Structure 1
Amino acid sequence: MKKLNQLTVAFRRMLTISFLIPILLTSCKKEQSPIADDASHSKNDEVYSTLLKKGISPTMIQDLGGYYLVENDLLVKKQGTDLIALKSFLDPADNSSEAVSSKTKASNPKKAQTRTPNLIFSSNSGVILYKVDADYTWNSAIQKAVTNWSQISNTTVNFFPVMDGTPTDNWIIFMNDGGILPNNVIAAAEFPSNGEVGFRVRINLDFNNNQQVSESGKIYNMVHEIGHCLGFRHTNWQQMNENQDGASLITGTPQQDGSSVMNGGTALNLWNGFSQYDILATQTIYPYSSLDKWITYPEQKLYYDISSNTVRYAHIALYNDDKVGVNWNPNLVNTGAINVYLYQNKKMVKMVGNNIPNLGTYSFDLPNNLYTAGGHNFYNLQIKIESVSNQNLSDMTSFFSVMVD
């Protein structure tokens, strides 16, 4: 949550627990929060008891009818509906010294930047889909913000725009808030769950009585919100008095980082790049494995092309009887031969190369059973190569597209 003057507003997510990240300018009147009107449940239920056991002060648990508002940005449904998700969110990801506990967070904080227990699976971090369904005036800022994250070096994080239909998993939708967010909340996002990226970023188009937000300000806010979707919590959690039970400290980050894009209370900041510790934190929680760079083509990080005002991603144009090519580093893995597989929408379509000599290049025809959009365009494709002698040695590309003319 990003806020100014440490004042907070929450809004309701329709289903179960909502980890919403409001960016606040001023406080919001209680009646502005569209919370369920179920106020009949007492505070002696299991949800309330769990919150107290996790070290959360009763003063930081606000009764909003059918929900509890916790630490100003966590909305929890009563009567145990969200109990499993709540425990997952509050429990440390592991028992290592990287986990923050309520006993040590105030007395001996060693590092500042934190993440949620739930991160994106390694199989998903390089193939995050996104869709812009917001006002066009935010479009370029969103595209640039997504690019900023994908362009961090030595990390698997990569994005691919939704080109056809509606995805079923691991995607972010950027959308207008439809009047849900209060006047002083500019945007809200969600944390990862079930190994997938946080699903939604809502944007308040009439923020602060239609205050004009610059392109740089929009980029900053979208970069911040995407950070939450990737699993980052606030860097300055101590100054904001946020409870960090369930947050894991990220190795190598300092006690304070005034330049971090993940600081809360920065709603009016302008984009000025990531801090060195933002970059380190991303590289730490989403690192490349030793085989992630085995394939060299088609493999490309998404980037924003200023000349065309569009994003660019791995794309192959084929003509007549052209074949699809894949290149890899033949010296990276000690194997005599590889198998090559073609995937679409994360499902294997076909083995397109069997016992191929480990020479670093191979070409193949597109299978006839690929799903095509518009007859010429094939989206969400991936190529996997695998050592014939050891199936544990493999690499898979991020998404790419093919156009056949």
Structure 2
Amino acid sequence: MRRIKSLVIATAMAIALTLLSCDKDQVTIPVEESSLVVEKDVLSKITSLHFNPNGIKKVMINDIDGTQKAMYLVEDDIMLSKSQIMDMGLHGGIQNKQYRTNNLVTSTNVIRVVGYTGNNQYGLSATAQTGLQYAVNNYNNENLSIRFILSFGTSWRANDILVYVDNSINPDPNRSAGIAGFPSNGYPFTRVRINNGANLTQTNQQLEHLLAHEIGHCIGLRHTDWNTRKTCGENSNEGVSNNGLVYIPGTAGPGGDPNSIMNACYPANTDGEWSNLDRVALNYLY
């Protein structure tokens, strides 16, 4: 695997460039400001589920299929609809260890992933396509009970995971970003969006890491360092809920796993490969 050499201009910039985050900016689609206020019932439900209520955003998403819908951005890179939030329940209590969502893929054992290649602003670069291939291979190499089938093109089915470029999630070309969501009704979340900062400037291995991470959210995995976000140079707690803080036996727990693909941020020299504990988690769940 090739390593990335960063040009150190100043100490502050060096620190910034060592971490590539799946943090997002608010989608900037012109709508009335009042329509983007997080409703009291949604905020109350999110708080009751022990998610971190700070920084929750309601955003209007222009989907690749031309539709527009309101979604809620929770804990930086998870998109939830209002129905998903309101239908959640706090099952089994709260545990303070490494966790997954309570919603997993149970309605199918074959997951189709489509890398969008349209000749427009949504199309994946050749490097991103390679990174996606690597990411899907890493899942299939684990011989899980779910199997991923990858294709590239401009058509997809209702329950496919469509991977494409959406620069509105973070229009800064110098900053990598990706976004996904949680499973529902037994099927994976169906959209993985990356911005052009990732699509055009990241390496195969960085995109392999980013896309494996976002697909991990689609099948029910949460950030390994949820309780500190220390891989992002932070000391903050994302909050917990039945949809996330369910301990995966044999994994790191609160101490975290510095090499996990599912950490909130990753180093520029990532090789994009699972850590040993990532493999434990995947093979336990699937």
Above 0.5 in TM-score?
yes
Residue 213 (structure 2) aligned to one of 183, 203, 224: 224
- Of 159, 163, 176, the match for 2:165: 176
Answer yes or no: is the 8 Å Cα contact 1:221–1:267 preserved in 2.
Answer: no
- Measure how far apart 1:259 and its partner are: 1.5
C-alpha RMSD of the superposition: 3.4
Higher strand share: 1
Task: Quote the residue 2:147 is aligned against.
Answer: 158
The C-alpha deviation readout for 1:292-311, integer Å capped at 9, x for no partner, is xxxxxxxxxxxxxxxxxxxx
Range with bigger deviation, 233-242 or 66-75 = 66-75
TM-score by length of 1: 0.51
Match of 1:233 among 198, 222, 227: 222
> Which consecutive unaligned segments of at least 5 residues does structure 1 have?
6-21, 287-405
* Mapped partners of 1:216, 1:228: distance in 2: 19
Q: Which amino acid aligns with 1:257?
A: D
User: How far apart, CA to CA, are the structure 1 residues paired with 2:111 and 2:71?
Assistant: 31
In the other structure, the counterpart of 1:141 is 131
Equivalent position to 2:47, from 48, 52, 75 = 52
1:242 Cα deviation after fit: 0.8
* Partners of 1:44 and 1:172 in 2: CA distance: 29
What 5-or-longer segments of structure 2 have no aligned partner? 1-14, 61-69, 117-123, 230-236
CA contact (8 A) 1:201 1:225 kept: yes
Q: Shift of the alpha carbon at 1:73?
A: 4.0
Shift in CA distance, 282/41, structure 1 to aligned 2, threshold 3 Å: closer
Asked if 1:23 is matched to 2:6, the reply is no
AA of the residue aligned to 1:137: T
Cα deviation code 1:59-93 (max 9, x no counterpart): 4545779876543445567xxxx1x310344x34x
User: Is the contact between residue 169 and residue 196 of structure 1 (CA under 8 Å) also seen in structure 2?
Assistant: no
> Between Structure 1 and Structure 2, whose CA radius of gyration is higher?
1
Superposition deviation, residue 179 in structure 1: 4.3
Give the length in aligned residue pairs.
239
Q: Structure 2 residue aligned with 1:120, among 66, 91, 105?
A: 105
Of 46, 71, 75, which aligns to 2:75?
71
Paired residue for 1:245? 241
Deviation of 1:264 (Å): 0.8
- Between the two structures, name the one with larger relative contact order (CA 8 Å, sep ≥ 6): 2
> 1:196: which partner in 2?
187
Structure-2 change in CA distance of 1:223 and 1:43 (3 Å): closer
Separation (CA, whole Å) in 2 of partners of 1:178 and 1:41:
20
Q: How does 1:6-405 map to 2 (within 5 A)?
A: 23-24=22-23, 33-34=28-29, 36-39=31-34, 45-56=40-51, 59-61=54-56, 69-74=73-78, 82=82, 84-89=83-88, 91-92=89-90, 94-95=91-92, 101=94, 109=96, 111-112=97-98, 114-121=99-106, 123-125=107-109, 127-133=110-116, 134-153=124-143, 155-162=144-151, 166-183=155-172, 184-207=175-198, 212-240=201-229, 241-246=237-242, 247=244, 248-255=246-253, 256-266=256-266, 268-286=268-286
Q: TM-score, normalised by structure 2?
A: 0.70
Distance 1:215 1:49, change over 3 A: closer
Relative to 1, partners in 2 of residues 1:75 and 1:277: Cα closer, same or farther, differing over 3 Å? closer
Distance 1:135 1:284, change over 3 A: same
Distance in 2, Cα, partners of 1:219 & 1:41: 33
Take 1:145 and 1:68, find their aligned partners in 2: how far apart are those partners? 26
